[in-house]
Structure formats: structure tokens, C-alpha cells
Structure 1
């Protein structure tokens, strides 16, 4: 009998231990949105927006993990003290490593016209967790091109080594080619600095990745303060499209949370394992800024289409990246 009880107790403990190997959602405490996820040096990183009123949104934190379960917070990796031209609304960071430096692209000031100061800037550091300093001393993009508000930037490295910035609010999305030193935009022609690649339904929050030679372009739809915020996607043979909307793959679940959107995607190196990192609003919250960062597995069907993602409280299983 004692052996049976011991076996049952051990089994129960084993199940409990196994259950604890899940990340849980949200991944970490606090109101954080627009998460940009990346992998550097066999570690996971998330660079989110500090979700607060614009006048309090004056810094960015980062989080790192070796296993997707335990996350370490890196506070104030950059703020308006380092970015002199920014005074509010620092959000939607995008990160890229080039050689031995890390470039953190961000939006600031939420400008509403070409006459206002702000737009998309760049900070640079020798470590992913910072601290970061202003790279240009001014915004990289501070005007409305093709009707796109200069916010929600993403940096995409193409297979030929070229870097592109993809960005835009106000239902317009642009793509521009970055100079090798990231200090300017290389015009496509005498009259074209940015190409518009806006698909049907696009609102904001663009993201792009490659899989099996195809370009997957994703974006957010709906209003960021409402329950209908969601993520849709398209697939093309070029980073310039044309991108024909396929459908939504991430949206609210009235039993779990609302406002699921503004995401990023990571792929475990040398595998076909994919994760989507996004923000959502708990059912108990009505404030637009009450957003938390979550993660789920992202899978594809036999035709390469993204399967609809089920949002959960459990999150994802522990996953260590081996060298």
C-alpha cells in the first residue's frame, strides 16, 4: 500500500513538474504590447511597447529567456533621455543584428502631419539588452509617404542580404530599402523612395518572414483598443508582393481574451518550429492600454498555409536552443 501511495504521489509530482514546464500566458507581468521577438546567441528576446498613456510611454524594456518559460527583465534599455527628439509615445520596437551591433528601430511622438517632429528612429547597442543610444540624432522617417503614418516599423533581411524597412499606420503600408549603414533609405527610382504594398484589410503592425522560398506578409486589422483586433496574412514570391489577403490566423476568444494582435514571429534555427508572440487584453480589462504579451505555437498545413492559432492560458512548452 505504501509503495502504491508513493508511486501515486511521485506520478502526481511528475505531472505537476511537467505542467510547470509551460510558459503560461502572459509570459511576464505588466502591461506590454506590440512584442518584437528575436533569437540572439541561443537566447530568446522580446522587445515590447510599455503599454501606457502616451505621455508615460517614454521608455522601452526588454525581456530575455533561455527556455521560453523563465523571463528576465531588462529595464529602460532606451528612453527619451537617450533619444532627445522623442518626448512621448515610444512604441513598436523592431530589432536587427548586423555584424556585432544591435539596431533597435522604434516609433516616437505619434506625429499626425509632416509639420510635427517625430516618426521612426534607430537606437544602437553592442548588446541586445542595451543600453541603447541614438544612432542618427533624428528620425530616419519623419514624413507621410503614400499616406502611411511613420509608425510600426519592421526590418526584414532578404535572402540576398539586403535590408528593408516595412512600416505604416493609417491603413497604408510601405517598403523601403535601407542603406547598408542604416543611415538612409535608398530610392527605388528618381521618383520613388518607398513602394506601397498595402493589402486588403491592412491597418498596422506589419511583419514579414520567409519559409520555403515564399514571402509571408502579416499585419493587424481592426482597432487596437477594441476586441476585434486581429492578425491576417498573405503570401507572395517577392517582398514587394503583390499580396492578396488569405485570411485571419489570430483573433480574440471570448473565453480567453480580446484584442489579440500586433505580433511577431520566431523560427527556431535549423528547424520548422515557429512561434507567434502577440498582445491581448484580459477579459477583466476595458482600458485600451491594459495589454499583455503572450506566445503560442504557429503551424502550417501541407499547402504552406498558416493554421489558425488558438490563444491559450497555457502558452508554450519549454524549449532550449541547442548550439
Structure 2
């Protein structure tokens, strides 16, 4: 039978209908997925607070300021994936011109929001070091106002404050600080400590070491000269930073990022304790980060993370930064955390479409 115009039109119409259905299916699939980064702008050291069903993300600005003249970039979201800029979070403290501001974390306690961060001079605090501070606000988005210095007299370089409330209600502060000795087989560099908080703005001054460097993979730089320590040169300088604590069962898991954030070695590992003040045990084999690590050709420098629950409260997510391909921006990424028989493992870093949280 000859091929009729009607047959052609019927088949063309059917083809267009099928294509429309495929496009609709693709749109539905896309609507149920996300692809990292979830925020493509500069957003280092991301911390996410979930409050009354809404997410607030805070990121490092260094010496920079947000368009409204504040410190720490603020984003908001209802689903962990679609983020909207919301200005800056911290009102610049008096006399802080030219200072670096790093790694904000926010908690809510007794009708007040407390923001913990470090402030210091220079790109690495080489001349005046870094100190921990706390600021307060009555709303999660701020603006926050600096309230107190959380001084650690034994350290000239103290960063990455992480407040943690135990199940009995007591608050603790985990943070990173420098150690320049090599006692007991440890290596000089930035390590992790914990102290009890007398209240939300005062440390007890009873800090204990959580974890110090002892593995090759955590080296930041070899033959590093440190002006902060009288120009002393260290054969190897290591870095453990960005602590974040989760209690699961009767165990305390202190997650941290290790190595040089510019290198493929940078990633997230953890140590474990039976008590919040330790002692903490490193259960890894020392070959590299087990929770989150680079993917050659796709993801570089994933780390300095925080944890948050999904909108439905059923899944735990890591919020972290990773470099864009040009290594000009550290961008906001998310991936699900799994608690396996071998310990916590991130189901990432991913760079292809993933199911929505």
C-alpha cells in the first residue's frame, strides 16, 4: 500500500507525542535529582544550620565582605539543594579591618543563636595568629554581633571552632590548634582539641588533645618556615582541621579534614571515643581519608564539612566544599552519609545526578 500523507501525519504526531512524554519523564527525573555543586559560587568551610524546617548555610569570606558590608556569606534553602543568597551574617567588629574571618558555625541555645569562628591577621595569621570568637543574634540569619573572645593562651593559632552539646545538655567546644613538638611520635602541625564550655561564651580551660598528625597523608607542606614561631622551619608540617562531632550509640565520632586543601590528598577522616573528652582512637590504616576523598579528574579538595539531616529527617548529609575545575572557587556540595559496618562513609563525592535529599 502506498505510503499516504495521513499515515505520515499519524506517525509524525505519534512521534512528537512520544518525544513530549520522554521530555516530561526527563523533566520529572531532573526534578527529583541534584548535581554538585549545589551552589556554584565561592563558599569555603560550609556550615549548615537547620532551624524550624529551614536551612541556613554560612561560609568563610576571609578578608572579604558581602555586598551588605558584613562577614560570612549566608545562603538559605528549604531542601538543601536550591540555595538563595541572603547577604552577610556578622557585623564587622570594631578594629578588625584587614583581619581574616574563618569557618563560622552556629548553634541555637535558650533563645539565642551563637556563632563561633576565628579571626586573625594575614592569609595564614603569620604575624598575629588566629583566635576564637563568639557572636550572638536573636535570629538565625543575624546580623550577629561579636560578644566574646574564647582565648586559648597556650596556642597562637586557634581555628575551626565546633560547638557540641552532649545528651546530658553540657556544651563542649572542639577546635584546631598548632602543636610544634614531635613528642610521642606525633608530627608538628595543626591538631584537634576539646574543652568544656562553662557557658556559651567561656571555656573551662581544661582542653584535651583529640587527635594529632601521625600519618604521611596529612602533610600540609614540607620544609615549611613559620614566622609565627620565630621563623622556625619544620621538616614536615601537618594539618588536621574542621572538627565535627556526632554521637552514635555510646560512641563519639570526631570527623576532621586532613592534609593541604589545595592537593588531591585533602579529605575527611574520623577518630572515635567512649567519652566526649576522650581519649580518641584513630582506627584507620593511615593510607588516606576514609569518609570523603578526591576523585581523580572530577573532584578535588573535598572537605571542611558539616553534617545535617535531610528535610524528612531520615537521612544524614555531609555539607562540604570542593574546588571548581579552574581551582578558583571552593563550591558548596552535599552527599549522603552512610553508617556502615566499617564505620561512617560518605556516598560521594558525587559529580553526576543524585536523588534529592
> Shared fold (TM-score greater than 0.5)?
yes
CA 1:230–1:110 in structure 2 vs 1: closer, same or farther (change >3 Å)?
farther
RMSD: 2.7
CA contact (8 A) 1:217 1:233 kept: yes
CA drift of 1:309 comes to 3.5
**Which of 208, 217, 222 is the equivalent residue of 1:195?**
208
1:237 corresponding residue in structure 2: 274
Q: State which of 88, 106, 109 in structure 2 corresponds to 1:98.
A: 109
Q: 1:311 to 1:11 in 2, by over 3 A?
A: same
Higher relative contact order (CA 8 A, sep 6+): 1
Change (3 A) 1:131 1:314: farther
- Cα deviation, 1:218-258, whole Å, max 9, x if unaligned, reads 11111122222111112222112222223421111112121
Structure 1 residues 212 and 304, CA gap change in structure 2 (3 angstroms): farther
* CA apart distance, 1:271: 4.6
Match of 1:121 in 2: 133
Matching of residues 1-323 of structure 1 within 5 Å:
1=11, 2=13, 5-50=16-61, 54-56=62-64, 59-80=71-92, 82=93, 84-85=95-96, 87-110=98-121, 116=128, 118-136=130-148, 139-145=149-155, 149-170=157-178, 171-180=190-199, 182-187=200-205, 193-200=206-213, 201=215, 203-247=240-284, 248-268=290-310, 271-285=313-327, 290-301=329-340, 303=341, 305-314=343-352, 316-319=354-357
* Equivalent-residue separation in structure 1 for 2:59 and 2:126 (angstroms): 26
Deviations 1:147-169 (CA, angstroms, capped at 9, x unpaired): x7310110001000011000013
Shift of 1:33: 0.8
Q: What CA distance in whole angstroms lies between the structure 2 residues aligned with 1:42 and 1:56?
A: 30
**SS state of the match for residue 17, structure 2?**
helix
How far does residue 8 in structure 1 lie from its aligned partner after superposition? 4.1
How far off its partner does 1:124 sit? Answer: 0.8
CA distance in 2, matches of 1:156, 1:315: 33
- Larger mean CA deviation between 305-314 and 169-178 belongs to 305-314
Q: Structure 2: how far apart are the matches of 1:110 and 1:216?
A: 32
Partner of 1:190: none
Q: Distance in 1 between matches of 2:97 and 2:104?
A: 14
Is the Cα–Cα contact under 8 Å of residues 37 and 45 in structure 1 kept in the other structure? yes
Q: Offset of 1:100 from its aligned partner?
A: 1.4
Higher strand proportion, which one?
2
TM-score by length of 2: 0.76
* Change in 2 beyond 3 A, CA 1:294/1:43: same
Confirm or deny: 8 A CA contact 1:256 1:311 kept in the other structure.
no
Q: How many residues align?
A: 301
Aligned to 2:26, the other structure's residue is in SS state helix
Gaps of 5+ in 2: 1-10, 179-189, 216-238, 285-289
Gaps of 5+ in 1: 188-192
**Cα pair distance change 1:236/1:22, threshold 3 Å:** same
Larger radius of gyration: 2
Q: Is the 8 A contact 1:110 1:151 kept in 2?
A: no
Name the residue aligned to 2:233. none
- After alignment, is 198-207 or 123-132 more displaced? 198-207
